[in-house]
Structures are given as C-alpha cells and as structure tokens.
C-alpha cells in the first residue's frame, strides 16, 4: 500500500478499512475465462462476446526497458505530487489559468505549471495574436524542456455586441435619480451622463418602462424616453459604471431577448481558430454558444482540417444556451460554466443552482466541465481570498466539477500563483471530505453507449470503480487510445487516481481536463504491455511492493481473433 504522507490526510476509518482489507490481501487477477459466453443487457441477450484474460506480456530485455523508460511520458508535476503525497493524496480537480500580462514570462508560466496549472487559457478578446503566439511557444518549450504537461486553450471573443462605454478609463459613479442618455451615435468626446452603445440596434424592441441592468447588477436604470434608437434613462439603483460594461434589458422580471443576427463565430473568431489550429492548441472554447449548430460547425471544420485532436468546449453564458443545454453538451467535448456573462443574462441568485445542474448533466453525459469566473475575484487585488470565495471554490469541487478556472486572478493580478495554490489546497481538502462521505453513489448513471463494445466499456468502467473503491486499490491504470475508457472511469469519480496510458499525444493533452486522470504518454510497443509499464513505474520508485493496482483495458489485440479486449485485472506489486 502506498504510504500517504505530507499534506494528504487519510481518515482513520478509511485507513483501518484499508488495513483490514489488505491484511488478507490476495491477488485477484483477471476475469474468468468463459469462452463464447453471451453478454446480457437488460435481460436480453444482445450478442456473443468472449471474455478473455489477457496474458501478461513478458518483459523484454534490459535494453528495451531502458529505451521504453525514456519514453514513458510521465509529467514532472504529477510525479512530484505522487512522491510527496502518495496515490490518494493526488489532486483530482483540474486547474485552468488565464494567461495575461501579469503571468506571461517564462518564469511566471513555469511557476504556474509547478503550482499545478493543467490548462493555460488564452482569451482572444485581449491582446494581439503575436502576443498569444509568444505564450504558446513558451508553454510548449516548458513542456518539452522541463517535462510539464500543460494543455493550451484558446477562448474566442464571440459576437459579444452588448457593450456600453462612458469614455472614462476607470469606473464612474451612478447616483440614484440621475438621468443618462444611451446612444449608438458616434460621439465627439463623451459629454457627461452620456453612454455609447457598441451597435445601432442596441435598443431595438425596447419600450419605455423597461429596465436596463449594467453588468448583471452594477447599476440599474428605467427607460423613460425613446427617441429613434436613443434611450433616455433614470437610474433606479445606484452603483458603478465600468468601462466596456455589458448590459441587458428586463421587462416584468424577465430578460428581453435581443435579436442579434450575428453568428456565434465572427470573422475574427474564425481567424483566431485558424491561428489556434495551426499552432496546435488542445482546446477551443466557444464563447456565446446558443445552440449545438455552432459547435457542430466548428467540429466539422476541425475534421476537414484533419485537426481531430483539438477539442471543442462550449461556454454556457447565455439564456439560449441554458434552454438547449443537453444538445449542446452532447455536441461538444466539454463545457465551461462562464458565470461572468451568465450573470448578466440571468439573475445572479440563479447562478448556484444553474451551475450545479450543468455540472450534473455534464457528468451524466460524460463531458468534462469547467467552473469559471470570479472564483477568487478579490485576489485580483489582495493576497488572500475571502472566506466566501473559498466556500464557492469548495462547492464547485463538492459538485465534482472537472476543473476550476482563474481569470483576472492570474491574468492581471499580482497574486496569481497564490490564487492557484488556494485552488489547489481547497480542492484537495474538499476531495478528501467527499471521499470520506462517499458521495459517489449520488450520480444517476444514464446509459450512454449504443453499440455493444461501447456498452461493455461503460459497464466495465462502472464496475471497475465500484470494485476499486471497495478493495481500496491504490491506483487505476487504464490503457486508452482516444481516452474514452479514461473518461468513463473518471465519470464515476473513484477514490484512487486514474493513470491513463496512451500513445496518442492529442488524447494525452485532452485528458488534462478530466477529473482524477493523470495522462501518461507511452510508445506504441508499450501500449499493451501492462507488466512492463508497471515495472517502469516501479523502477522510478513510484510503485512499491504491496501497492495494489487495478488495470482496465480495452485495447485491440493482434494476438487473438477478437477486435478488442475489455478487461479488469487487479495486481499486487511484488
């Protein structure tokens, strides 16, 4: 059994359990060989499949082992974490950092990588393409030269047209009762109490009596007069006007839908996507997705560009996207709960429940989900978070979100590295609590697969996790080409970490966003060789005699006449 040391605290009850279980430990190895046995599903015989135990492949010579060892792509940070904290102490929740001027030097990026950044996000709303290219190159250099495994995400600007500007470089106070003119006309300078809207049709369909809300509640106005496209408004709720503020209109407590003819993907977005594809980014996050069509359009484009390893994430940040949530989740490779803009479109008191719902549906449909925006907002200015922010972070972890994201905290704040460590500590703590409370059972396991092999993979992963938890194994090893088995295991949120061995670089980078998965690159020959993989990890001192590893596999085999092996084995390291 791995020794859990340092910061990772293991509960006495869990520890006792594990000790008793392993007092009588025996090697449970492989499934029973039942040739030609029919697999039943839902009471019906669906097809004939053979369940076969894969014979452990003999370890090759020392030379082969040495060569393979060099090629075992274990990232430096996971390796360090495993050595320091043991298997159970490894953090499961993934961390995304927005890269901005405050953290774009090689040294700062290295610090973030060491601090646990799994994915670097580049927000294409800001700065130049050359600036972003420079960051991409630095991250790739760090990955190559320092053994990190940081994935890269670009986040599109989107057709975000609902913007207002008052012309001042910083915020302007808005007093209750003051009268303001909102206009799309080009202004020569900004007269006092005048605000410029970013497009002509900003007041289309708006009536006297409607309520204009700035940035989801920074200040509110009532429309008292409409002349052409211009609106004259009285402040009904005083507050602040920030530069480039977002706005929404409300009537009888409901959002007035703005009839934007603009596509989700603007010309600039396509150019940014082209840039991202040619620079080989791992994720493209689509802003202001309203339905599944834009996601499919981008996925088709990536397919045509033979860039299938680029994953498409849909940002949920509009009312429309909430109404079409399931079809969007089904179409994309992952979701971001973009709470910043979402809070402009729906009343902010609804954000917590909407976040929980999105997170739950994502897990049911087996897509990774990132909870984003304002997690540690006060740390843009201060070196410590508010207690409420820590509670918010912990709640997202308790909900089993795959990943948490920093925005301004890392992009412009002087305490980005500290903010990352707050996420790291708060998530490790909540994960431990969740494990002790055994919250896994809550997931309603909606069946996903349609083909028999897919259904088998799903069942194997569900059962494997239950078994792994009951046996108290130290780690789950999974061999996966496209990552599907790894995600199916992750969906069950097991206690032990999932080491996903893959020979596909794109799969490795994509799995960086997946809860509890540590992707490890192996070469093709190693792929199916469980014994050799374990031997290599043992030689690195990361597996010790007595450790118990569950091995889940669905690899195609050339040895025997079956298209795929799908098996669970439990091995004790000797």
Ligand X SMILES: Nc1ncnc2c1ncn2[C@@H]1O[C@H](COP(=O)(O)OP(=O)(O)O)[C@@H](O)[C@H]1O
Residues that bind ligand X (CB under 6 A): 98, 100-101, 123, 125-127, 340, 407-408, 411-412
| Residue 25 φ then ψ, to 5° | -65, 135
Write the binding mask 276 to 315 for ligand PEP: x where contact by CB under 6 A, - elsewhere: -----------x----------------------------
In sequence order, what DSSP letters do the residues of 3-14 get, joined into one string? PP-TT----HHH
CB of 124 to ligand PEP, least distance (A): 9
Q: Residues touching ligand PEP: how many (CB under 6 A)? A: 12
For the record, the structure tokens of 511 come out as 């799995």
Q: Please, which residue, 133 or 256, has the CB nearer to ligand X?
A: 133
Q: Quick check: 287 binds K ion (CB under 5 A)?
A: yes
Residue found by looking up tokens 């069950």 in the block: 492
Tell which one of 210, 282, 317, 554 touches ligand PEP (CB under 6 A).
Answer: 317
Is the Cβ–Cβ distance between 484 and 498 less than 8 Å? no
127 binds, among ligand PEP, ligand X, Mg ion, none (CB under 5 to 8 A by kind): ligand X
227: β partners: 230
CB of 411 to ligand PEP, least distance (A): 9
Q: What is the DSSP letter of 73?
A: B
CB of 139 to ligand PEP, least distance (A): 19
Q: Please, which residue, 289 or 570, has the CB nearer to Mg ion?
A: 289
Question: Which residues of the chain form contacts with Mg ion (CB under 5 A)?
Answer: 317, 338, 340-341
94 binds, among ligand PEP, K ion, Mg ion, none (CB under 5 to 8 A by kind): none
For the record, the structure tokens of 87 come out as 């298997």
Residues 6+ apart with CB under 8 A from 56: 530, 531
Is the Cβ–Cβ distance between 334 and 311 less than 8 Å? yes
CB of 375 to ligand PEP, least distance (A): 10
Q: What torsion do the CA atoms of 98, 104, 109, 111 make, to the nearest 10 degrees?
A: -100
| Near ligand PEP in 361-420, by CB under 6 A | 372-373, 407
In sequence order, what DSSP letters do the residues of 161-212 get, joined into one string? --EEE-S-SS-EEE-TT-EEEEE-S--SS--TTEEEESSGGGGTT--TT-EE
Q: Please, which residue, 52 or 136, has the CB nearer to ligand PEP?
A: 136
| Near ligand PEP in 320-339, by CB under 6 A | 338-339
Is the Cβ–Cβ distance between 176 and 235 less than 8 Å? yes
CB of 97 to ligand PEP, least distance (A): 13
Q: Please, which residue, 318 or 512, has the CB nearer to ligand PEP?
A: 318
Is residue 116 left, alpha or beta, with left meaning phi > 0 and alpha meaning psi from -120 to 50? left
Q: Please, which residue, 317 or 333, has the CB nearer to ligand PEP?
A: 317
411 binds, among Mg ion, K ion, ligand X, none (CB under 5 to 8 A by kind): ligand X
Q: Beta strand pairing status for 94-98 and 403-406?
A: parallel
Write the binding mask 125 to 144 for K ion: x where contact by CB under 5 A, - elsewhere: x-------------------
Q: Please, which residue, 94 or 299, has the CB nearer to ligand X?
A: 94
Q: Please, which residue, 10 or 412, has the CB nearer to ligand X?
A: 412
Q: Please, which residue, 264 or 566, has the CB nearer to K ion?
A: 264
Residue found by looking up tokens 């996000």 in the block: 121
Helix (H) or strand (E) holding 84: helix 76-85
410 binds, among Mg ion, ligand PEP, K ion, none (CB under 5 to 8 A by kind): none
Q: Please, which residue, 152 or 528, has the CB nearer to ligand X?
A: 152
In sequence order, what DSSP letters do the residues of 91-134 get, joined into one string? --SEEEEE--GGG-SHHHHHHHHHTT--EEEEETTSS-HHHHHH
| Residue 262 φ then ψ, to 5° | -75, 140
Distance CA 243, CA 230 (A): 19
Q: Quick check: 355 binds K ion (CB under 5 A)?
A: no
Is the Cβ–Cβ distance between 569 and 530 less than 8 Å? yes
Select from 116-124, 136-144, 368-376, 504-512 the region that touches K ion (CB under 5 A).
Answer: 116-124
Q: Quick check: 155 binds K ion (CB under 5 A)?
A: yes
Q: Please, which residue, 130 or 524, has the CB nearer to ligand X?
A: 130
> Site residues (CB under 6 A) for ligand PEP?
123, 125, 155, 287, 317, 338-341, 372-373, 407
């Amino acid at each position: 059994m791995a020794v859990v040391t340092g910061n990772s605290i293991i509960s006495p009850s869990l520890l006792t359990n594990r000790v008793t279980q392993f007092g009588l430990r025996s090697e449970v190895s492989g499934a029973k060989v039942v040739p030609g046995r029919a697999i039943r599903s839902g009471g019906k015989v669906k097809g004939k499949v053979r369940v076969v135990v894969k014979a452990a492949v003999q370890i090759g010579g020392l030379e082969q082992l040495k060569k393979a060892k060099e090629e075992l792509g274990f990232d430096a940070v996971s390796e360090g974490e495993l050595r320091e904290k043991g298997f159970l102490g490894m953090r499961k929740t993934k961390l995304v950092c927005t890269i901005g001027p405050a953290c774009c030097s090689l040294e700062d990026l290295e610090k973030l990588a060491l601090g646990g950044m799994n994915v670097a996000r580049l927000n294409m709303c800001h700065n130049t393409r050359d600036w972003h290219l420079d960051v991409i190159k630095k991250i790739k250099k760090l990955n190559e030269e320092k053994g990190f495994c940081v994935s890269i995400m670009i986040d599109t600007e989107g057709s975000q047209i609902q913007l207002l500007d008052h012309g001042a470089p910083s915020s302007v106070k808005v007093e209750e009762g003051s009268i303001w003119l909102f206009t799309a006309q080009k202004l020569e300078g900004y007269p006092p109490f005048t605000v410029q809207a970013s497009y002509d049709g900003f007041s289309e369909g708006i009536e006297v009596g409607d309520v204009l809300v700035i940035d989801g509640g920074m200040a509110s106005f009532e429309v008292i007069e409409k002349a052409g496209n211009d609106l004259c408004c009285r402040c009904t709720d005083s507050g602040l006007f920030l530069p480039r503020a977002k706005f929404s209109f409300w009537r009888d407590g409901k959002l007035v839908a703005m009839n934007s003819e603009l596509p989700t993907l603007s010309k600039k977005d396509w150019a940014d996507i082209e840039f991202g594809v040619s620079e080989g980014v791992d994720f493209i996050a689509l802003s202001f997705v309203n339905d599944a069509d834009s996601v499919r359009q981008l996925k088709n484009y990536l397919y045509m560009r033979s860039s299938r390893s680029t994953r498409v994430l849909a940002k949920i940040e509009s009312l429309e996207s909430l109404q079409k949530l399931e079809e969007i989740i089904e179409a994309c490779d992952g979701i971001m709960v973009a709470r910043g803009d979402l809070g402009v479109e729906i009343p902010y008191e609804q954000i917590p429940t909407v976040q929980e719902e999105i997170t739950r549906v994502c897990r049911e449909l087996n897509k990774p989900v990132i909870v984003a925006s304002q997690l540690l907002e006060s740390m843009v200015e201060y070196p410590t978070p508010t207690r409420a922010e820590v509670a918010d972070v912990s709640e997202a972890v308790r909900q089993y979100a795959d990943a948490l994201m920093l925005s301004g905290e890392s992009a412009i704040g002087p305490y980005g590295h500290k903010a990352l460590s707050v996420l790291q500590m708060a998530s490790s703590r909540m994960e431990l609590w969740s494990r002790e409370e055994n919250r896994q059972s809550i997931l309603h396991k909606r069946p996903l697969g349609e083909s028999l092999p897919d259904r088998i993979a799903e069942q194997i992963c569900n059962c494997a996790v239950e078994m792994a938890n009951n046996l108290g194994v130290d780690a789950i090893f999974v061999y996966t080409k496209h990552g599907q088995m790894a995600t199916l295991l992750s969906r069950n949120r097991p206690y032990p970490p999932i080491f996903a061995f893959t020979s596909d670089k794109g799969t490795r980078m994509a799995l960086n966003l997946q809860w509890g998965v540590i992707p490890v690159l192996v070469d093709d020959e190693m792929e199916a060789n469980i014994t050799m993989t374990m031997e290599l990890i043992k030689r690195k001192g990361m597996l010790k005699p007595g450790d118990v590893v569950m091995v889940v596999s669905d690899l195609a085999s050339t040895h025997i006449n079956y298209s795929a092996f799908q098996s669970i084995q439990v091995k004790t390291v000797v």
